[in-house]
Amino acid sequence: MGDAVTETIRDTAERYRNWGRWGEHDVLGTLNFIDDAKRREAAGLVRRGTTFSLSEFFDGDGPQRPPGRRFNPVHTMTATGADARDPDRPHGISGADDEISMSLQCCTQWDGLGHIFDHGRAWNGREAAEVVTSAGDLVTGIEHVAHHLVTRGVLLDVGRAIGDDGELPDGFAITPEHLEATIAAQGATARVGHGDALLVRTGRLARAHREGWGTYAGGSAPGLSFWTAGWLHDREVAAVAADTWGMEVRPSDLEGATNPLHQVAIPNMGLLIGEIFDLEPLAADCDVDGTYEFLLTAAPLKVTGAVGAPVHPVAMK
């Protein structure tokens, strides 16, 4: 990476850095924008009581492909219906049981605040080596944020607003101008502000469902431009998620950089990033009823010390 790219990332990180904003011991980052008043506002958005699952299926046919370091869930039955044939079971009772092995970020998930570092620093300026050790994230583990992720969600369906046939091509960088154009096209319910969780639909997951996973995990993809960092910061967004493997555009529009928006957003802004969100059913409904805001519940599993964790987000309208 050239020195100019390094300097650009450094300058952007310094411009939008939230270190100390919520005190030296903070472990929530931008989730601090979500308070009880925000949750009451979100609850008031429920009119029909219709729910939408925003999660992919957690199974062996998931998005991960070798030789990546992440792998899809391996589901194993440890007790089955065959046990019901055991005549020695007390008063005839028997049951099934199972277990699962998987990478915590193999499917629909949140990146925690200990997932990415910037020049050896973790969220709030802490030394990365002191935060995340072989024992896990000792400071900002994903378990700390789980109960905060209930808020107003907003879908920006950029794929439908500016894409061809509702989808954006791989490598398409969504700029602040694209986000604003999508808000203008969708109307007042698409405004994005303090404490909101922003969900960005590119249509990339729809293509994977139609054509197969292919290079979905780790390959080229549409996504947020590096230059959206200031837009997200200025609007005090609490969290951002997308229907892609990495949320930001791949390859990056900051030529020569790898995941530079992650580098600014997570350790500097304290912004949670969600990936592999299935936004298709929700987006179809929003397109029909013209309402792009909803109550969002999206708590990750409380895996102690994890730097990311699976989530089953649910939107309610």
For residue 69, the tally of other CB atoms under 10 A from its CB is 9
CA 25-27-31 angle, 5° bins: 130
Give the per-residue pLDDT at 1. Answer: 47
- Strand ranges, E, within 4-73: 51-53
Residues with Cβ < 8 Å from 30, sequence gap 6 or more? Answer: 18, 236, 237, 238, 239, 269, 270, 271, 272
User: In 285-316, which positions are buried (b, 16+ CB within 10 angstroms) versus exposed (e)?
Assistant: bbeeeebbbbbbbbbbeebebbbbbbbebbbb
User: Contact, 108 vs 313, CB < 8 A?
Assistant: yes
Q: How far apart are CA 283 and CA 274, in angstroms?
A: 17
Give the per-residue pLDDT at 92. Answer: 84
Residues with Cβ < 8 Å from 56, sequence gap 6 or more? Answer: 62, 63, 107, 108, 205, 276, 278
Q: How far apart are CA 118 and CA 70, in angstroms?
A: 22
51-53, strands of its sheet edge to edge: 51-53, 314-316, 293-297, 150-157, 197-201, 239-242, 272-275, 109-111, 308-310
DSSP string across 90-142:
GGG----EEEEE--TTSSSEEE-TTS--BTTB-GGG-BHHHHEETTEESSS-G
Decide: helix, strand or coil at residue 225. coil
Which of 178, 159, 160, 161 has the alpha carbon at shortest distance from 170? 159
Give the per-residue pLDDT at 2. Answer: 59
* pLDDT per residue of the chain (317 residues) written in tens, 0 to 9: 459 999 999 999 999 999 999 999 999 999 999 999 999 999 999 999 999 999 999 999 999 998 888 999 999 999 999 988 888 878 888 899 999 999 999 999 999 999 999 999 999 999 999 999 999 999 999 999 999 999 999 999 999 999 989 999 999 999 999 999 999 999 999 999 999 999 999 999 999 999 999 999 999 999 999 999 999 999 999 999 999 999 999 999 999 999 999 999 999 999 999 999 999 999 999 999 999 999 999 999 999 999 999 999 999 99
Give the per-residue pLDDT at 203. Answer: 98
Q: How far apart are CA 80 and CA 145, in angstroms?
A: 36
Superfamily for the 3-67+103-316 domain:
Putative cyclase (3.50.30.50)
For residue 278, the tally of other CB atoms under 10 A from its CB is 21
Which of 119, 113, 110 has the alpha carbon at shortest distance from 27? 113
Decide: helix, strand or coil at residue 186. helix
Give the per-residue pLDDT at 84. Answer: 80
